[in-house]
Every structure is written in structure tokens, then in C-alpha cells.
Amino acid sequence: MFERLNAYRIMWVLVFFDLPTETKQDRKNAGTFRKKMLADGFQMFQFSIYMRHCSSRENAEVHIIRTKNNLPPKGNVGIMCITDKQFGMMEIFHGHDPTPLAPPPQQLELF
């Protein structure tokens, strides 16, 4: 069925973090964590919030596990998974002006 890709099945993984940057090693750990997230397909939403579009809950779980495997030794990291429908209800503002959400990336499926 073609209902596999709908707004309730497609997921967004959001990673929130607050990492220490007091020492040179802390800065290196924080930078490495960010680079690994970008290499895994995440994009920066805000300075300490990264997000990734996933075609299913199972695919989201793969990226959540990768993120957990890359956690730095210090700092606070939160991971949240929401549906595309929930993500689409988010209101984003730049100052007082609303900003439209960017369209989700197109998914390519090969059968």
C-alpha cells in the first residue's frame, strides 16, 4: 500500500544538547559530536538543536542509536522523535515575523 509514507509514519529526530566548552578537550568533543551528526544527515535547526528527516520509525531508530553511540563524555543531550504531522504544526518566528517551514526532503524509493 502507498500509505506507508504519510504524515503520521514519517518521523523527525531532534537532538538537543548543551555541551561544555571550557577546555580544549571539551571543545574538541563538542565539535566531533556536531560533525558526526552532520555526517549522519542531521542539519542544524538552531545552535544546539539538530534535526533529521526519516522515512519511518525504524529508520529514525537507526539514527537515534548512531547518535547515542557518538555521545560526548560530558554534557546534556536529549533526543526526541516526532511525526511529520507534529513537525508541520510547529510555528517558527524570526523576530515578530512568522517564517514558513521548509518543505521536507523528497524521499527516493527503489523497488
Look up the pTM and report it.
0.81
CA distance 76 to 1: 41
From the options 3.30.70.120, 3.30.70.240, 1.10.240.10, 3.30.420.610, give the CATH code of 2-86: 3.30.70.240
Boundaries of every domain in the chain: 2-86
Contact 82, 11 (CB under 8 A): yes
pLDDT string in tens for the chain (111-residue length) = 445 557 778 999 999 999 999 999 999 999 999 999 999 999 999 999 999 999 999 999 999 999 999 999 999 999 999 999 999 898 888 888 887 766 666 555 554
Q: Which residues contact 60 (CB under 8 A, 6 or more apart)?
A: 11, 12, 13, 52, 54, 81
